[in-house]
């Protein structure tokens, strides 16, 4: 019941009387009092005034299952939440849950990861209380030919949520990292389990830097939303908005409306205009983004107009390091 009370307090500008809570949820005043105390013990500041009722003053800077459920905007995503104070990796736990029969839309949230994973086996800095470390278990009900769209819509959902919540442009570095200028806000790792040509489980992991003021990892270019905006952000609202946007985009995939997705994805690409350095198996070269195909392939064109087509992991951006501007590093 504490989740329902928290939701109501969030949705109310002023006070909610104890009697109103009793009548709405069909419980006693003692039950309401116990639920309010549980929320207080979890870090919520709730003001209680005689003859007025209860008012939510502030929320803790950590995620919790009650906090997540109180702002959930979708039916099937997040109906089941597996919340952990500490895990090795949310992707690892999500794969285990999927193999054990976790329902479609389950997501795994951790306050901290000890062995967060990025693409190509890289570690991911995931300190407690400073970001969103989550993985969604998706059992795709889509045309197998549209499977690559999941990568595009995940990146779109995070990019748009961050932009709208902070007022700062968040671009997509192909295929699915999220960047502000030349600095990385969010990394993703999407892992699929295949049965024949169909995806049985799609494990969608994302790590979003929210309130870090310093970074302890050796990642060369991280940045948090707090560093960008100059003020502390509430992770729960960014997460809720991201999940809702993902749901809306995913419905478009199911309906076959992939052209809009690809167009929106192209419009939000980091370094979409101009020539930049890239590296593939043959070495470093200069090119501009010519296209991103519905299959997710990146098409680059050099200054002579010669195009090259790449699948995921076949090419890397080269981005100047903040500490050594003349020396590029590979992401």
Residue 184 shares a structural domain with residue 224: yes
Predicted pLDDT of residue 67: 72
Report the alpha-carbon angle 76-161-186, nearest 5: 100
Residue 143 shares a structural domain with residue 49: no
**Which of 267, 285, 303 is where one domain is finished?**
267
pLDDT single digits (tens) 19-37: 999 988 899 989 999 989 8
Residue 78 shares a structural domain with residue 152: yes
Residue 147 shares a structural domain with residue 246: yes
Residue 102 shares a structural domain with residue 222: yes
What tokens were used for 160?
A: 């748009």
Which whole-number Å values give the CA distances from 194 to 45, 107, 216, in the listed order? 46, 20, 36
CATH of the domain at 206: 3.30.930.10
Residue 169 shares a structural domain with residue 293: no
C-alpha to C-alpha distance for 19 and 145, rounded to whole angstroms: 55
**Which of 239, 267, 295 is where one domain is finished?**
267
**For range 35-62, the mean pLDDT:** 86
Residue 177 shares a structural domain with residue 321: no
Residue 318 shares a structural domain with residue 184: no
Banded model confidence at residue 63, pLDDT cuts 50, 70, 90:
confident
pLDDT single digits (tens) 83-126: 888 898 999 999 999 999 999 999 899 988 886 555 555 555 67
C-alpha to C-alpha distance for 269 and 299, rounded to whole angstroms: 13
Residue 128 shares a structural domain with residue 203: yes
Residue 72 shares a structural domain with residue 214: yes
Sign of the CA dihedral 103, 178, 189, 258?
Answer: positive
Lowest-confidence region among 120-124, 135-139, 180-184, 314-318: 120-124
Give me the DSSP letters along 130-184: SEEEEEEEE---S-GGGTTHHHHHHHHHHHHHHHHHHSS--EEETTTEEEETTEE
Mean pLDDT of the chain: 87
Residue 74 shares a structural domain with residue 15: no
pLDDT at 219 over 90: no
Number of domains in the chain: 3
**Which of 267, 285, 318 is where one domain is finished?**
267
Range of the domain at 134: 65-267
**For range 268-288, the mean pLDDT:** 95
């Amino acid at each position: 019941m504490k989740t329902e009370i928290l939701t109501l307090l969030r949705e109310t500008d002023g006070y909610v009387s104890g009697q109103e809570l009793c009548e709405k949820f069909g419980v006693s005043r003692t039950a309401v009092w116990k639920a309010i105390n549980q929320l207080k013990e979890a870090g919520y500041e709730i003001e209680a005034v005689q003859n007025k009722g209860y008012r939510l003053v502030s929320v803790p800077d950590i995620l919790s299952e009650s906090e997540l459920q109180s702002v959930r905007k979708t039916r099937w995503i997040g109906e089941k939440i597996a919340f952990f104070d500490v895990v090795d990796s949310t992707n690892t736990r999500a794969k285990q849950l999927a193999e054990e029969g976790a329902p479609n839309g389950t997501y795994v949230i951790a306050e901290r990861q000890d062995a967060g994973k990025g693409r190509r086996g890289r570690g991911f800095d995931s300190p407690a209380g400073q970001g969103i470390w989550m993985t969604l278990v998706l059992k795709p009900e889509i045309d197998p030919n549209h499977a690559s769209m999941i990568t595009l819509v995940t990146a779109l959902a995070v990019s748009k949520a961050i932009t709208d919540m902070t007022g700062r442009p968040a671009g997509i570095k192909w295929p699915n990292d999220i960047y502000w200028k030349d600095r990385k806000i969010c990394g993703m790792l999407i892992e699929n389990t295949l049965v024949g040509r169909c995806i049985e489980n799609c494990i969608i992991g994302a790590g979003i830097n929210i309130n870090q003021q310093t970074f302890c990892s050796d990642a060369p270019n991280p940045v948090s939303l707090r560093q960008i905006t100059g003020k502390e952000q509430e992770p729960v609202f960014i997460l809720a908005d991201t999940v809702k946007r993902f749901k809306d985009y995913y419905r478009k995939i199911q309906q076959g409306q992939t052209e809009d997705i690809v167009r929106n994805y192209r419009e939000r690409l980091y370094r979409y205009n101009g020539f930049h350095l890239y590296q593939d198996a043959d070495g470093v070269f200069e090119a501009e983004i010519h296209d991103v195909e519905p299959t997710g392939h990146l098409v680059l064109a050099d200054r002579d107009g010669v195009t090259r087509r790449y699948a995921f992991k076949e090419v890397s951006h080269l981005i100047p390091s903040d500490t050594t501007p003349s020396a590029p590093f590979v992401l």
